[in-house]
Structure 1
Amino acid sequence: MKPFVVNSHDRLVFPANFFAELDFSVINDLEQFTAIVERDFEAKAPTGTDILARITDGAYSSRFELLRDIGQNLFWVNRFSMTMFEKRPTRWRDLPRHRSDVYLPVLTPWEDGDKKVRAVREAFEALDPTWDDATERKVFDLLFDVFGHRRHHATELPAVKPTVAQFLDTPGALTFVVGEHDPDYPVFTQTQIVDAAADRPELEALTRWAMVLHNQYPWDRAGTELRTAEEIGDDDHVIAFHPRNRDVSAFLDRVSGARPTRRRRAEAPAEPVEPVRPLPPIRVPEAFRVQPRIESLAVVRGEYVCDNTDVVRNSAFSWSPMSAAEISKKTGIDRRRYTELDIEDLALEAAKAALAHSGRSTDEIGAVLVATCTSERLIPSLSTWLSGQLGLLQTHCSADIVAACAGLPYGLSEAVRQLQEVDRPVLLVCVEKFSDKIGSVRTSRMIFGDGAAAMVVAPAPDGEPGDVEVLQTYASGPVSQVNSIIWPNPEFDNDITVYGPEVKALVARYLAQMIGELGELPAPAGTDGASLLEAIDLIVPHQANKTMILQLAADAGLSADQLYFNIEEMGNVSAASIPIAMFDAVRDGAITGPTRVFAPGFGAGAVGGYAVLRVDPSVMAPEVTLTAQDTAVASAQAATPTGATTTDDVRIAFGD
Structure 2
Amino acid sequence: MNTAAVLTGLGTYVPPRVVTNEELSRTMDTSDEWIRTRTGIAQRHWADTGTATSDLAVEAGARALKSAGSADVDLVVLATTTPDHPCPATAPQVASRLGLRTVAAYDVAAVCSGFVYALACAAGAIAAGVAERVLVIGAETYSTILNPDDRTTSVIFGDGAGAVVLRAGDPSEPGALLAHDLGSDGSLKDLIMVPGGGSRQPVTGAAEPGPRPADSYFGMQGKPVFRHAVTRMAESSQAVLDRAGWAAQSVDWFVGHQANVRILHAVADQLGMDKERTVVNLDRVGNTSAASIPLALADAVSDGLLAPGHRVLLSAFGGGVTWGSTALVWPDITTDRDISPKTPRSS
- State the TM-score, normalized to the length of structure 1: 0.46
User: 1:349, CA displacement in angstroms?
Assistant: 0.9
Name which one, 1 or 2, has greater alpha-carbon Rg: 1
1:291-440 aligned within 5 A: 291-315=4-28, 321-340=29-48, 341-361=51-71, 364-395=72-103, 397-419=104-126, 420-439=128-147, 440=149
2:231 corresponding residue in structure 1: 509
Aligned pairs, how many?
321
Question: Is there any run of 5+ residues in structure 2 with no aligned partner, and where?
Answer: 197-202, 204-212, 341-347
Determine the C-alpha separation between the residues in 2 that align with 1:587 and 1:470: 25
- Please tell me whether residue 500 in structure 1 is matched to residue 222 in structure 2: yes
Change (3 A) 1:495 1:558: same
State the distance in 1 between where 2:133 and 2:284 align: 32
**Deviation, structure 1 residue 593:** 2.8
CA contact (8 A) 2:13 2:162 kept: yes
Alpha-carbon distance, 1:302 to partner: 1.8
Q: For the structure 1 residues 303 and 551, does the alpha-carbon distance in structure 2 shift closer, same or farther, using more than 3 Å as the test?
A: same
Aligned to 1:579: 294
1:540 and 2:255 matched: yes
Quick check: 2:6–2:173 contact (8 Å CA) kept in 1?
no
How far does residue 354 in structure 1 lie from its aligned partner after superposition?
1.3
Counting only pairs closer than 5 Å after superposition, residues 580-595 of structure 1 correspond to structure 2 as 580-595=295-310
Shift of 1:394: 2.1
* Distance change (3 Å), C-alpha of 1:414 and 1:462: closer
Q: Does the 8 A contact of 1:591 with 1:617 survive in 2?
A: no
1:290–1:423 CA contact under 8 A, matched in 2? no
1:540 is paired with a residue whose SS is strand
Between the aligned partners of 2:171 and 2:233, the Cα distance in structure 1 is 35
**AA at the equivalent of 2:190:** N
CA RMSD of aligned residues (A): 2.3
Higher share in strand: 2
Cα distance between partner residues in 2 of 1:512 and 1:357: 31
Cα offsets for 1:528-584 (capped at 9, x unmatched): xxx442321110110011133323543453332121100101100011101100100
Render the CA deviation track for 1:34-61: whole Å, top value 9, x for unaligned: xxxxxxxxxxxxxxxxxxxxxxxxxxxx
Shift of 1:511: 2.7
Q: 2:276 & 2:339 partners in 1: Cα distance? A: 29
CA–CA distance in structure 1, aligned partners of residues 314 and 98 of structure 2: 29
Shift of 1:465: 6.2
| Equivalence map 1:125-524=2 (5 Å) | 289-315=2-28, 321-340=29-48, 341-361=51-71, 364-395=72-103, 397-419=104-126, 420-439=128-147, 440-460=149-169, 464=173, 467-476=176-185, 479=187, 481-488=188-195, 492-518=214-240, 520-521=242-243, 523=245
The CA deviation string for residues 410-443 of structure 1, in whole angstroms up to 9 with x for no partner, is 0110111111323421111110111121022211
Cα distance change on mapping 1:532 and 1:431 into 2, 3 Å: same
Q: Hey, which of these two has a bigger chunk of helix by percent?
A: 1
Q: Percent identity?
A: 27
CA contact (8 A) 1:511 1:556 kept: no
Farther-moved stretch of structure 1 (344-353 vs 615-624): 615-624
Letter in structure 2 aligned against 1:425: R
* Other-structure match for 2:199: none
| Cα displacement string for residues 118-176 of structure 1 (whole angstroms, at most 9, x for unaligned residues) | xxxxxxxxxxxxxxxxxxxxxxxxxxxxxxxxxxxxxxxxxxxxxxxxxxxxxxxxxxx
Instruction: List gaps (5 residues or longer) in structure 1.
Output: 1-287, 316-320, 524-530, 626-656
> For residues 60-99 of structure 1, what are the structure 2 equivalents within 5 Å?
none
Q: Secondary structure at the match of 1:548?
A: helix
Distance 1:622 1:562, change over 3 A: closer
CA displacement, residues 89-108 of structure 1 (integer Å, 9 cap, x when unaligned):
xxxxxxxxxxxxxxxxxxxx
C-alpha change, 1:522 and 1:569, in structure 2 (3 Å) is closer
Residue 583 of structure 1 aligns to a residue whose secondary structure is: helix
1:607 maps to 322
**What SS class does the counterpart of residue 143 from structure 2 fall into?**
coil
The one-character-per-residue Cα deviations of 1:437-489 (angstroms, maximum 9, x if unpaired) are 10222111111000001111111269856521111111115x2x322111145
Matched letter for residue 321 of structure 2 = A
1:495 is displaced (CA, Å) by 1.0
Structure 2: how far apart are the matches of 1:543 and 1:359?
A: 28
The 8 Å contact of residues 441 and 496 in structure 1, kept in 2 or not, is answered as no
Give the structure 2 partner of residue 165 of structure 1.
Answer: none
Secondary structure of the residue that 1:505 maps to in structure 2? helix
2:41 and 2:286 in contact (8 A); partners too: yes
CA displacement at 1:610 relative to structure 2:
0.6
In 2, the alpha carbon distance for the partners of 1:462 and 1:515 equals 19
Equivalents in 2 of 1:423, 1:519: separation in Å? 27
Q: 2:339, 2:31 → 1: CA distance?
A: 32
TM-score by length of 2: 0.85
Q: Secondary structure at the match of 1:422?
A: coil
Tell me how far apart the structure 1 counterparts of residues 84 and 101 of structure 2 sit (CA, whole Å). Answer: 24
Q: Secondary structure at the match of 2:311?
A: strand
Distance 1:466 1:558 in 2: 22
| Residue 280 (structure 2) aligns with | 565
Separation in structure 1 between the aligned mates of residue 46 and residue 332 of structure 2, nearest angstrom: 26
Aligned to 1:223: none
Contact kept? 1:460, 1:466, Cα under 8 Å = no
Cα distance in 1 between the residues matched to 2:130 and 2:286: 36
Give the Å deviation of 1:390. Answer: 2.2
Partner SS state of residue 435, structure 1: helix
